[in-house]
Amino acid sequence: MAFLPINRAEMEERGWDWYDFLFISADAYVDHPSFGAAILSRLLEAEGYRVAVCPQPDVSTPESLTAYGRPRLGVLVSGGVIDSMVNHYTAAKKRRSEDVYSPGGKAGLRPDRATIAYGNLVRRAFGKISLIIGGTEASLRRFAHYDYWSDKVRRSIIFDSRADLISFGMGEKSIAEIARALAEGTPAELLTGIRGTCYIADNPPKNAVILPSFEEVRDDKEKYAMAANIQYEEQDPIRGAILAQKHGDKYLVQNPMSPPLTQSEMDRIYALPYERAWHPGYDALGGIPAYSEVKFSLTSSRGCFGSCSFCAITFHQGRIIQSRSHQSIINEAKNFLWDRDFKGYIHDVGGPTANFRAPACEKQLKSGACKHRQCLYPGICPNAKVDHGDYVALLRELRAIPGIKKVFVRSGIRYDYCIADRDDTFFRELCQYHVSGQLKVAPEHISDNVLRYMGKPGVEVYNKFKDKYYGICREIGKEQYLVPYLMSSHPGSTVNDAIELALYLKKNHIHPEQVQDFYPTPGTLSTAMFHTGLDPRTMKRVYVPRDPHEKAMQRALLQWSRPENYGLVREALIRANRRDLIGYGENCLIRPKINRESERRNKNGSTDLGRKGSVRKNKGGAQGRGRGSGRKGR
């Protein structure tokens, strides 16, 4: 095995005087199946094409591309594992100081709006050439979309990047079909029938569902909300319609999603000859930090039928679960044993949701996911098959491999699905074998008002899970904790909702180290709510906290016990007419202001962190959800 060439010298070492595709990526080159560029480039190689990889090119000069020579068939552009704007900026729009997908974690090696910047660089370097864009950034920006960083609605990324096609979703099937068509001599601009792609047309197909135009959704928030809802309803590979959205005198046309991968197709993809390392050219720079998070982790599935409003997995990977075979996963795990850095610990076995290993119900593969019904919200659908048997069997097989000391589950589990299983074998074995001191789950909030907009179950479900978790841990004699992901300022959340959450945290002795402000990223229903003030599913008004100071108060309430948050918490309580929570009573959040200084002098440093239900240290926090951490996708 060898890395694919990343420069002209490496191409010449292979004896190449021509090649088929130039694959440009906003991430550094890591040849591992957790990185979309690695999967797609290796897949094309397996199909018989010559692929050169161009990681993080300099957009100031076309020579960063022309140095490779002109590719025979076309150029593929990926904005990376996560959207470049999410990569660069926090929810407060502050510039991040590092980029874990770049050498040494150095920031600034990719441009803002990387797919657009690279697409225009391709046109400067090669002129008229087949240009296909993909990856998370292109996939989630394929329609006219609200852009949080510029606070405006932008047109489809296909126009600004000057691309011929968007390959949306995970891309394996569509990219292979595109490559075959290009090799047969069909120009990319004529490829209009490939599932999992978007293209530009003068007129929409006769059978297309017509969305409100770019101009309409830009100027009318109701039209934007309507368009967002239609897009979500039709994101299904079985029953999804062709969609068309006018931009000026052209149409953006989306074909239906690619069909789900079969298990054998998934196995083939993960068995491709990856080097499973970053390119050695990065060694002197300190390597690629993000790789350490996935090096000894196993992807077992794709897709998620949880459909949380703030998550783009449904829009990108879809609701139908696709999974690898046990043997495929076991083979990958056994390969860890040959790595000198492997200490016997598998860090994760999962996917977007670790405990989903099969479609929610039998009808999904025949008829698609339900258009107007969620699998888990407001409660678990009666037709859903709640069964952890296959996942339990897989984890047992992994634990039995000689040389494997521990197998952890860290990518997150859907706790409502877990608690709905009448057979608690998985729950018990999870606590016994697969928790490394802390189990991360995502209740996100406890207010029914907020959870309704999030598409999450009521707090009583989380409480039931929490109680059972700690009960099992006591039975097996293990001191283990829950780390709850929590989100402030989601659409629908008022200061009163944040106060309700603060009271819950106090009552349960939970002191979160990190919380996440809602981050309006492309491709989610929650972002549509943030922009429009409407719930796209009902077209009813929804309160949206926009004022930075109010958002700071909501965030402070989630960490009410921190001294530095005292002023914001006090202001929030007074504004909400909750002065009853300022005092010395058992339910009070803070003490009166007049005694703060004397209390600070007398403070003995004791906390509730060691008590049942608390969080000693939340290493992952919730910020990672804004950067793709813990939820695999491309």
Overall average pLDDT of the 474-482 stretch: 96
**What distance in Å separates the CA atoms of residue 4 and residue 549, rounded to the nearest whole number?**
49
The answer to whether residues 616 and 481 touch, using CB atoms and an 8 Å cutoff, is yes
Nearest to 631 by CA among 309, 417, 351, 444: 351
Tokens 């003995």 sit on residue: 604
Question: What integer pLDDT is reported at residue 211 of this predicted model?
Answer: 98
The answer to whether residues 115 and 61 touch, using CB atoms and an 8 Å cutoff, is no
Phi, psi of 407 (to 5 degrees): -125, 110
Any idea what DSSP says for residue 257? P
Overall average pLDDT of the 223-238 stretch: 97
Mean pLDDT score across all residues of the chain? 93
Tell me the two tokens of residue 282: 């990065």
443-634 folds as Transcription Regulator spoIIAA (3.30.750)
Tokens 């000069």 sit on residue: 61
**pLDDT greater at residue 385 or residue 596:** 385
Tell me the two tokens of residue 490: 């989601």
Q: Terminal CA-to-CA distance of the chain, rounded, Å?
A: 24
Question: What integer pLDDT is reported at residue 412 of this predicted model?
Answer: 84
Residue 459 CA neighbour count, 13 Å, CB half: 15
The answer to whether residues 170 and 302 touch, using CB atoms and an 8 Å cutoff, is yes
The answer to whether residues 504 and 451 touch, using CB atoms and an 8 Å cutoff, is no
Sheet strands (E) in 348-391: 348-350
**pTM assigned to the model:** 0.92
Overall average pLDDT of the 93-112 stretch: 96
Nearest to 51 by CA among 30, 90, 24, 26: 24
Which residues 6+ apart lie within 8 Å of 400 measured at CB? none
**What distance in Å separates the CA atoms of residue 576 and residue 22, rounded to the nearest whole number?**
57
For β-strands 30-31 and 277-278, DSSP reports them as antiparallel
How crowded is residue 478: how many other Cβ atoms within 10 Å of its Cβ? 12
For β-strands 481-488 and 516-517, DSSP reports them as parallel
Q: What is the pLDDT of residues 147-156, one digit of tens each?
A: 999 999 999 9
8-254 folds as Rossmann fold (3.40.50)
**What distance in Å separates the CA atoms of residue 78 and residue 132, rounded to the nearest whole number?**
9
Q: How confident is the model at residue 584 (pLDDT cuts 50, 70, 90)?
A: very high
Q: What is the pLDDT of residues 65-95, one digit of tens each?
A: 999 999 999 999 999 999 999 999 999 999 9
296-436 folds as Transcription Regulator spoIIAA (3.30.750)
Q: How confident is the model at residue 605 (pLDDT cuts 50, 70, 90)?
A: very low
C-alpha distance from residue 63 to each of 19, 59, 70, 450 (Å): 17, 9, 11, 51
The answer to whether residues 120 and 64 touch, using CB atoms and an 8 Å cutoff, is no
Question: Roughly what angle, to the nearest 10 degrees, separates helices 548-558 and 495-507?
Answer: 10
How crowded is residue 360: how many other Cβ atoms within 10 Å of its Cβ? 26
Which residues 6+ apart lie within 8 Å of 495 measured at CB? 550, 553, 554, 557, 572, 575, 576
- State the SS3 of 77-123: EECCCCCHHHHHECCCCCECCECCCCHHHECCCCCCCHHHHHHHHHH
Tell me the two tokens of residue 70: 């002109």
3-17, 124-138, 184-198, 619-633: least confident range: 619-633
Sheet strands (E) in 189-326: 197-201, 209-211, 243-247, 250-254, 277-278, 297-299, 301-302, 322-323
Nearest to 216 by CA among 155, 259, 162: 155
Question: What integer pLDDT is reported at residue 293 of this predicted model?
Answer: 87
C-alpha distance from residue 89 to each of 119, 130, 140, 406 (Å): 22, 31, 17, 36
Any idea what DSSP says for residue 189? G
Tell me the two tokens of residue 531: 């922009």
How crowded is residue 327: how many other Cβ atoms within 10 Å of its Cβ? 10
**What distance in Å separates the CA atoms of residue 466 and residue 444, rounded to the nearest whole number?**
14
Position 510 pLDDT exceeds 80: yes
How crowded is residue 524: how many other Cβ atoms within 10 Å of its Cβ? 24
**What distance in Å separates the CA atoms of residue 395 and residue 130, rounded to the nearest whole number?**
44
Position 620 pLDDT exceeds 50: no
Tell me the two tokens of residue 513: 């180290």
Q: Is 212 helix (H, G, I), strand (E, B) or coil?
A: coil
Question: What integer pLDDT is reported at residue 613 of this predicted model?
Answer: 39
**What distance in Å separates the CA atoms of residue 427 and residue 615, rounded to the nearest whole number?**
20
**What distance in Å separates the CA atoms of residue 481 and residue 476, rounded to the nearest whole number?**
14
Nearest to 493 by CA among 436, 447, 552: 447
How crowded is residue 378: how many other Cβ atoms within 10 Å of its Cβ? 12
Domains of the chain: which residue ranges?
Answer: 8-254, 296-436, 443-634
Q: What is the pLDDT of residues 240-279, one digit of tens each?
A: 999 999 999 999 999 999 999 999 999 999 999 999 999 9
Tell me the two tokens of residue 364: 């999904």
Q: Do the first three CATH levels of 8-254 and 443-634 match, i.e. the same topology?
A: no
Overall average pLDDT of the 28-53 stretch: 97
CA 475: distance to chain centroid? 35
Overall average pLDDT of the 342-362 stretch: 95
Q: Is 457 helix (H, G, I), strand (E, B) or coil?
A: coil
Question: What integer pLDDT is reported at residue 616 of this predicted model?
Answer: 37
Overall average pLDDT of the 578-598 stretch: 86
Question: What integer pLDDT is reported at residue 514 of this predicted model?
Answer: 83
Q: How confident is the model at residue 601 (pLDDT cuts 50, 70, 90)?
A: low
Q: Is 334 helix (H, G, I), strand (E, B) or coil?
A: helix
The answer to whether residues 397 and 326 touch, using CB atoms and an 8 Å cutoff, is yes
Residue type, 200: I
Q: How confident is the model at residue 146 (pLDDT cuts 50, 70, 90)?
A: very high
Position 612 pLDDT exceeds 90: no
Overall average pLDDT of the 209-217 stretch: 98
- % of the chain residues with pLDDT over 70: 93
For β-strands 322-323 and 301-302, DSSP reports them as antiparallel
Tokens 């006769």 sit on residue: 206
CA dihedral in degrees (602, 603, 605, 610; nearest 10)? Answer: 130
Q: Is 597 helix (H, G, I), strand (E, B) or coil?
A: helix
Q: How confident is the model at residue 513 (pLDDT cuts 50, 70, 90)?
A: confident
Position 631 pLDDT exceeds 50: no
Question: What integer pLDDT is reported at residue 619 of this predicted model?
Answer: 35
